[in-house]
Amino acid sequence: MALIKLRHFKKAIEDISYRGDNDTMPFDFDNKFISDNKDNLASLAYEYFVKLEGLGKAEARV
């Protein structure tokens, strides 16, 4: 299994802010918000990922 790091989330946020091609927030305002908050959003997503990984598959599904 690949080791997932914060840089992976930063790259994903950078891609979303540049292309704006996500299904949940396709509007210019949302893209600006993502672009303005890249580091915070990447950190938040990574922290949540780490928490879920620590719980294990059974607990993460609950």
- As a whole number of angstroms, the distance between CA 40 and CA 20 comes to 17
Question: Looking at residue 21, what is its pLDDT?
Answer: 62
Percent pLDDT > 70 in the chain is 81
In a domain, 7, yes or no: no
Question: Looking at residue 9, what is its pLDDT?
Answer: 94
In a domain, 9, yes or no: no
Q: Which domain holds residue 29?
A: 14-60
Q: 27 pLDDT band (50/70/90 cuts)?
A: low
In a domain, 54, yes or no: yes
In a domain, 3, yes or no: no
Handedness of CA 32, 34, 35, 36 (dihedral sign): positive
Question: Looking at residue 7, what is its pLDDT?
Answer: 95
In a domain, 46, yes or no: yes
**Contact yes or no for 9/45 (Cβ under 8 A):** yes
In a domain, 6, yes or no: no
Report the number of distinct structural domains present in the chain. Answer: 1
